[in-house]
Structure 1
Amino acid sequence: MTTPPFSLLQRLLFGLIILLALPSCKRESKADAAFYYWKQKLNLNKAQHQLLDEVAHGKLYLRFFDIKWDSFAGKAHPEAIISFKEAVKTEKIIPVIFITNQTFEKLSPAGIDSLAMQSNQLLQRLAAAQKINYQRVQFDCDWTLGTKEKYFQFLKSFKAISNKQLEATIRLHQVKYQLRTGVPPVDKGVLMFYNMGKLSPNPQDPNSIYNPKDAATYISYLPKYTLPLNIALPLFSWSIHIRDGQIIQVYGKIGKKELHNPENFQPTAHKNVYRALKSFFTEGIYVKTDDLFKLEETDKALLEQATIQLAEHLNKEEQKTIIYYEIGNLDLSTFKTADFEEISAHF
């Protein structure tokens, strides 16, 4: 006997049953979001506060001070200590301390514990004055083979003194060569997924903030890295000032708006490279006729490309924070709340 064919309704119901019976293929993101704030004065405007709340639920990695080596005094000292121009409106503050590698080049082993104690005392005073109750501290230092022992000892000493959870920033080369550069003794690393190429005066060279070719030489080593990682992603852009084939300086305050002024600049045959039409001053910077400015931008498309490339090499089951650098100088016309939600969802 021939079996009658399913009706259209029966086929639809059968398909729905199959879909409901199968486990979902969609993987929900386990990542949350945060922003860095790197300016010396804490003074967020209304739009920045709104973005911080909507995207990161108030989670802010706040740079408190830098530690640099004073050659004249022969000792390490704090610089660019943060000042609070507004009351802290979030309870989710993670203090960040930047330390120059030169500090550990010059610091004697006997001075490590003292520096850790003084750094902790200054951080405690600054936080207490603003009633900031923090449980975690992040250190940013681009250590080298010659300084890793002193830097790692500093981290151990600071953790013992402070009794806080610690994070340390990790550069891509420190992932690839972890057996040589070492892995810092902290609870979590923060992979800085930017500034991966060399600054170049050649107009044809790729974006040094992020480009997939340079990234590809490092990220395959991520699954073998022995420290759990949060991720830092770029939001910034800059212009490389070039004169006679040499880099003069890099400027964050000269961007698309300034370079699109037809009275001062004209586009060249190379994408995002502009030539000065005359000599003039802008933003306190002297620009000479025929100087070139190479604009390196981070926009939504570039950030999504970077995220997709990176996410393939990370454990999506591992809880992580995506930290965007940084909200203090962010052009709010470039990124919207939905953009960050889409980026973070890849993790």
Structure 2
Amino acid sequence: MFRYFRWFAIVIITQITASCRKPGTASTAFYYWKTGFNLNEQQTTLLKQTGNNAYIRFFDVSWNDKQQRAYPNAVVQFNELPAGLNITPVIYITNKTFENIPDTAVATLAGHCNKLINDLAGEKHISYTKVQVDCDWSLSTRAKYFSFLIAFKKLNQKQLEATIRLHQVKFKDRTGVPPADRGVLMFYNMGKLNAGLHQPNSIYNGDDADKYIAYLGSYPLKLDIALPLFSWAIHIRDGRVIQVYGKIGRRQLADQVHFESVEGEANYRAKTSFFLEGIYIKQNDIFKLEETDSNALDAAAKQLTQHLPKQKHTTIIYYELANIDPEKFNAETIRQVSARF
């Protein structure tokens, strides 16, 4: 009897301690990845309710094979900026750019990128304190990419962030650690897209993440975290993946006139050939729906906090605001996830 009461008391104390634990102090932010920056009322309200922080993709840097040069692509077009919005410019650079650009042109590319960021910011009187560079570099492009970051930082003089993939955390001795002030761990897109209808979710699944996150404690850069808010449908024909669509979701696939469920509630077969959202769908094509919901976000946050070193200032960046589903994600849901950090 005494042992029972002692066990019961321990459980109660543990629950009280857990309920009194202070929430984390992480900041909340959102990526915005569309070329046209134009927020609707729901997006504006969500930003205001969660801290008014936006990481806006200003442009991509791509490689032109014909002209043999790097060029800015998908440059953002600003419409109206909400008052009080804290903006961090983001640029995405294709790995192909660093595969092809000569070593002697890397510093020049850094200068062009810095100028375009400042020109775009100047047009809308955007004051920024940091820049994020997104590039999934490889072993063969590491030297040129790291040289780019050094040259860019020297010119820009703001805090420099670099995106980090999970494999780059685990194999940091091979892939290298980018010369940046801070890293941003992209905690999604973990598995390979595949046509297997019973394969784990490739956006986020805990088993794949477990192979890497134990190495977070030894990573030398302080890390912010990027978490997914998106879902997509994988288009499969004759057993092969032919495309991935973010604009096709459960609402479209639940149309029983055109689709039927097959091998689970997240897989759909086309009953007939037709066009959907401008996309040609052939009879018997399969769509495998991979979704992110609040439960997946919460699981990702719990998994990360078991391995992420404690730090005073962390930003949780959600990808992404332009295509968010307000029925799945509201301000309270987002705040609860961020509070875990």
Band the TM-score falls in, shorter-chain normalisation: over 0.9
Q: How do 1:105-116 residues align onto structure 2 when only pairs under 5 Å count?
A: 105-116=99-110
**Alpha-carbon separation, structure 2, partners of 1:209 and 1:318:** 28
Name the CA distance, whole Å, in 1 between partners of 2:268 and 2:313.
Answer: 43
State the partner residue of 1:51. Answer: 46
Higher gyration radius (CA): 1
C-alpha spacing 1:276/1:285, structure 2 compared with 1 (3 Å) = same
Runs of 4 or more, structure 1, over 6 Å off, are none
User: Counterparts in 2 of 1:277-316, with a 5 A limit?
Assistant: 277-316=271-310
Choose from 243, 251, 256 the match for 1:262.
256
Corresponding position of 1:177: 171
**Structure 1 contact 59–90 (Cα < 8 Å) conserved:** no
Query: Percent same amino acid at aligned positions?
Result: 52
User: Residue in 2 aligned with 1:231?
Assistant: 225
2:325 alignment partner, one of 331, 334, 346 = 331
Q: Secondary structure at the match of 1:278?
A: coil
Contact 1:91 1:133 survives alignment (8 Å) = no
Residue segments in structure 2 that go unaligned for 5+ positions in a row: 1-12
Amino acid paired to 1:188:
R
TM-score normalised by structure 2 residue count: 0.93
Deviation at 1:27, TM superposition (A): 3.7
Supply the distance in 2 between the matched residues of 1:122 and 1:94 (Cα, whole angstroms): 14
- Counterpart of 2:323 in 1: which secondary structure? coil
**2:19 is the counterpart of 1:41:** no
Give, as a single letter, the amino acid of the residue that structure 2 aligns with 1:85. Answer: N
Could you tell me which amino acid in structure 2 is paired with residue 47 of structure 1? Q
CA–CA separation in structure 2 for the residues paired with 1:90 and 1:148:
37
* Shift of residue 91, structure 1, vs aligned partner: 4.0
CA distance in 2, matches of 1:37, 1:289: 35
Preserved CA contact (<8 Å) 2:216 2:309? no
Residue type of the alignment partner of 2:302? I
Give the C-alpha shift of residue 200 in structure 1. 1.0
How far did 1:212 drift?
A: 0.8
Read off the aligned partner of 2:113 and give its amino acid letter.
Answer: S
What residue number does 2:120 align with?
A: 126
Distance 1:88 1:187 in 2: 28
After the TM superposition, which residues 100-179 of structure 1 pair with which residues of structure 2 at under 5 Å, given as runs?
100-179=94-173
- 1:112 is paired with a residue of what secondary structure? helix
RMSD: 1.5
| Partner of residue 7, structure 2 | none
Deviations 1:102-140 (A, max 9, x none): 000001110011000011111111100000011100000
Structure 2 SS opposite 1:179: helix
| Residue pair 1:68, 1:99 contacting (<8 A) in 2 also | yes
The alignment status of 1:187 with 2:205, answered yes or no, reads no
One-letter code aligned to 1:95: P
1:25 deviation in Å?
6.4
SS at match of 1:310: helix
Report the secondary structure of 1:210's partner residue: coil
- Quote how far apart the aligned CAs of 1:305 are: 1.1
Alignment partners' CA distance in 1, 2:92 and 2:205: 26
- C-alpha contact 1:105 1:146 (8 A) present in aligned 2: yes
Instruction: Please report how far the alpha carbon of residue 278 of structure 1 lies from its aligned counterpart in structure 2 after TM superposition.
Output: 0.5
Which secondary structure does the structure 2 equivalent of 1:137 belong to?
A: strand
Residues 235-273 of structure 1, C-alpha deviation per residue, up to 9 Å, x if partnerless? 000000011110010000110110000101011122300
Give the whole-Å Cα distance in 2 for the aligned partners of 1:319 and 1:162: 22
Q: Please give the alpha-carbon distance, in whole angstroms, between the structure 1 residues aligned to 2:263 and 2:71.
A: 47
For structure 1, the residue ranges without an aligned partner over 5 or more in a row are: 1-17
